[in-house]
Copies of this chain bind each other. A is one copy, B any other.
Amino acid sequence: MSKTENLAQHLEKLHINNMYKNDFYWTWDKTDDELDAIFTVADALRDLRERNISTRIFDSGLGISIFRDNSTRTRFSFASACNLLGLDIKDLDEKTSQIAHGETVRETANMVSFMADVVGIRDDMFIEEGHKYQKTFMDALDEGYEKGILEQRPTLVNLQCDVDHPTQSMADLLHVIHEMGGVENLKGKKIAMTWAYSPSYGKPLSVPQGIIGLFTRFGMDVVLAHPEGYEVMPEVEEIAKKNAEESGGSFTKVNSMEEAFKDADIVYPKSWAPFKAMEKRTELYRAGDKAGIDALEKELLAQNAGHKDWSCTEDMMKLTKDGQALYMHCLPADISGLSCKEGEVDNSVFDRYIEPLYKEASFKPYIIAAMIFLSKVKDPVAALRDLEKRGGKRKEF
Contacts and interface: CB of A to CB of B under 8 A. Distances in A.
Interface of A: 46, 49-50, 54-62, 64, 67, 70-73, 75-77, 79-80, 83-84, 86, 88-90, 92, 96-104, 106-108, 110-112, 114-115, 117, 144, 147-151, 200, 331-332, 334, 338-340, 354-355, 358-359, 361-362, 364-365, 376-380, 382-383, 386, 392-397
Given A149-B362, A340-B102, A377-B397, A59 B54 contact: yes
Contacts of A110: 358, 361-362
A84 B116 CA distance: 11
B101 A90 contact: no
Given A62-B80, A73-B112, A376-B397, 16 more contacts: A56-B396, A58-B394, A59-B393, A62-B83, A70-B96, A72-B99, A73-B111, A83-B115, A89-B90, A103-B332, A111-B361, A114-B365, A148-B359, A149-B362, A377-B397, A383-B397
B147 A72 contact: no
Given A107-B331, A110-B361, A332-B107, A83 B61 contact: yes
A57 B397 contact: yes
Given A101-B339, A396-B383, A397-B383, A358 B59 contact: no
Contacts of A149: 355, 358-359, 361-362
A235 B170 CA distance: 51
B111 A76 contact: yes
Nearest to A64: B76
A85 to B, nearest CB: 8
